[in-house]
Amino acid sequence: MSKTTKVKKNVAIDFSIYYNEETGESLASELIESESKTMVSVKEDTELVIMDRPKNFAFIDTDTLLKVIKILNNADLANLVKMIPLTKTEMNMIYNHSVPHTNATLQKYLEIGSRAKFTELMKRLIKAGVLYQVKGSINGAVRVVYIMNPHLSNRRKTFHNSLFKLFKDFN
| Torsion 39-41-47-50 (CA) sign | positive
Q: Are residues 80 and 134 in the same domain?
A: yes
For residues 28 and 42, what is the distance between their CA atoms, to the nearest angstrom? Answer: 16
- Asked whether the predicted pLDDT for residue 131 surpasses 70, the reply is yes
| Torsion 121-126-130-136 (CA) sign | positive
Residue 41 — very low, low, confident or very high, per pLDDT cuts 50/70/90? confident
Q: Which of 28, 51, 74 is the last residue of a domain?
A: 51
Chain Cα centroid distance, residue 126: 22
171 located within any domain? no
For residues 87 and 82, what is the distance between their CA atoms, to the nearest angstrom? Answer: 10
Q: Are residues 85 and 135 in the same domain?
A: yes
Domain that holds residue 14: 4-51
Q: Are residues 35 and 115 in the same domain?
A: no
- Asked whether the predicted pLDDT for residue 124 surpasses 90, the reply is yes
